Chain A
Amino acid sequence: MASSASQLSLAAVQSGYGRVKVVQNVSLEVATGEIVAVIGRNGVGKSTLMKTIIGEIAPMSGAVSFRGLDVTRLDAARRARLGVGYVPQGRDVFARMTVGENLALGRRVGGAPAANLERVFGFFPILEKRLAQPAGSMSGGEQQQLAIGRILAGRPDIILLDEPSEGVQPNIVQEIGRIIRRLRDEERLTVLIVEQNLSLIRAVADRCVIMDKGAVVGEIAPEALDDPETAARYLSI
């Protein structure tokens, strides 16, 4: 069993697009097996933070490490191979490829055995039925399940989910919440999740990090969001 040492660590990270700085001086520690939600209103830089962590955009300054290993200079592909799974906002399934090919690609990263797909089908039975179908022809909820199944197929140590509830029907959102919980409880998967959906946050998160104008401005317990005023302040609903 892994220690509760830091799985992900950000030190004074600044990043953005071109010369426009979006993420301002963010420091953050996520322990192994922890589920941390990042909340904040639209456009505060949550997705930009996620892209910086997975290596899609390089930080202007600061450092990113996984399990104590400094990955700031590594590109996204190498970070993925170190066990970082990413489900972007909008899911980004490969629409022209089949469900099976999307999953095969996800499995390839971690060099996981083919049997691992069975585990994914256990979580998302719909994927097994749609293996030969082009991913682009599935519904939003199905694509979200594929995007999550795709990274689970590679057995990552940490997953980053960017608004997985967006455009997904409530019963599937609930199911996704249960699966995230189970993965953490049974396999000590570490999760960083950007969310606006109160019930999903309440179902999974151990703590919530609040972002505003690109900076982390505080932290609250998920229960605090049960207060409608607090929820209205931090979530765009």
Chain B
Amino acid sequence: MEWSGQVFSWIYQYFDNMAFLLLAASGLILIYGMMGVINMAHGELMMIGAYVASAAFYVGAPAPVAIVAAGLVAGLVGIAMERLVIRHFYNQLLSSLVVTWGLSLILSQGVLLALGPSTMNMPTPFGSFSVGGFSFGVYRMVLFATAIGLIAGVWALFRFSSFGVAARAAMENPRMASALGVDTKRVYTATFAIGSALGGIAGALFAQTAAISPFFGQNYTPMAFITVVMGGGASAILGLVYAALYLAGVQTIASNVFNQYVGYVSIMAAAFIGLLVMPSGISDFVQKRRARRMAR
């Protein structure tokens, strides 16, 4: 059954491409949606996560422990970044871009100085399975499932928990939230830490598929950035999901019709066209249309 393998391969690639975008962008879009800053050093948080995970792995920690450790360390680095730098640039998109870009250079060069340029590797777990004569890595599907699980978890946290209610209030109207007893600074720090931890976890997960180096983050930052801009800030989680569905779809088609490289570039073309139609991203576009329909 050749064709069943071919069809499954397309679906598999689609999910794999989505997992890549979802994981690379989840922390970034959370921070952007909630606080109006884009953290260009997000890739470096992923790089830190990758190093922490591989270090933990080589001292014998099981993979889940290594991944959690990566999230914790990246979260702590995120707290330091927020306290020292980012705090002063909330809702200043351009300044935050410049400042965090500087942070990203400092972090990657710092790791280069400390650990040298050599790369590290972690084995990819779980092996493979085959469908209709095609062979597929199990781990890629685990990545996808993990991405969905993480995103659902973050969504539920902000939707249902008392922290989530306070956080959304602080984002919508910080002055009123303070007048109702919400410590807005702590909420910002915590949200930034959660976004950073997501970056660290993503780095740890990708570390099992790619070589780890001080510039590890650069493999992910551009795509994460495009996904965030395409998703828009109106609703971080929905925006992320919409953008991943769309961009990964275009990428999968283009890389099958042409080749992998064209597929990769097609993400940028798809985002370019998407942003012409929806200048502030898909979630903003959907929200405005829904509001217009409600008004009628």
Contacts and interface: CB of A to CB of B under 8 A. Distances in A.
B195 to A, nearest CB: 20
B172 A96 contact: yes
Nearest to B184: A77
A56 interface: yes
Q: Which 10 A-B pairs have the closest CB atoms?
A: A109-B181, A80-B181, A76-B178, A92-B176, A86-B179, A77-B178, A81-B181, A76-B179, A94-B172, A77-B183
Interface of B: 162, 165-166, 168-169, 172-173, 175-184, 294
B177 to A, nearest CB: 8
A88 interface: yes
Contact of A108 (B168, B175, B181, B184): B181
A151 B176 CA distance: 11
B171 to A, nearest CB: 9
14 contacts: A77-B178, A77-B181, A77-B183, A80-B180, A92-B173, A94-B172, A94-B176, A94-B177, A96-B168, A101-B165, A101-B168, A104-B165, A105-B169, A151-B180
Contacts of B176: 88, 92, 94
A contact patch SS? helix
A99 to B, nearest CB: 12
A105 B162 CA distance: 8
B135 to A, nearest CB: 47
Contacts of B177: 94, 105
Given A97-B168, A97-B169, A105 B182 contact: yes
Interface residues on A, range: 20 to 34
Interface string A147-166: 00011001000000000000
A75 interface: yes
A186 B111 CA distance: 65
Interface string A63-106: 00000000000011110110000101000101111000100111
Nearest to A93: B176
Given A77-B184, A94-B172, A97-B172, A108 B179 contact: no
Contacts of B172: 94-97
Contacts of A137: 294
A54 interface: yes
B178 A108 contact: no
Contacts of A105: 165-166, 169, 177, 180, 182
A203 B271 CA distance: 60
A55 B180 CA distance: 11
A58 B38 CA distance: 31
B143 to A, nearest CB: 32
Given A94-B173, A96-B172, A97-B169, A104 B180 contact: no
B39 to A, nearest CB: 23
B162 A104 contact: yes
A64 to B, nearest CB: 14
A76 B174 CA distance: 11
B168 A54 contact: no
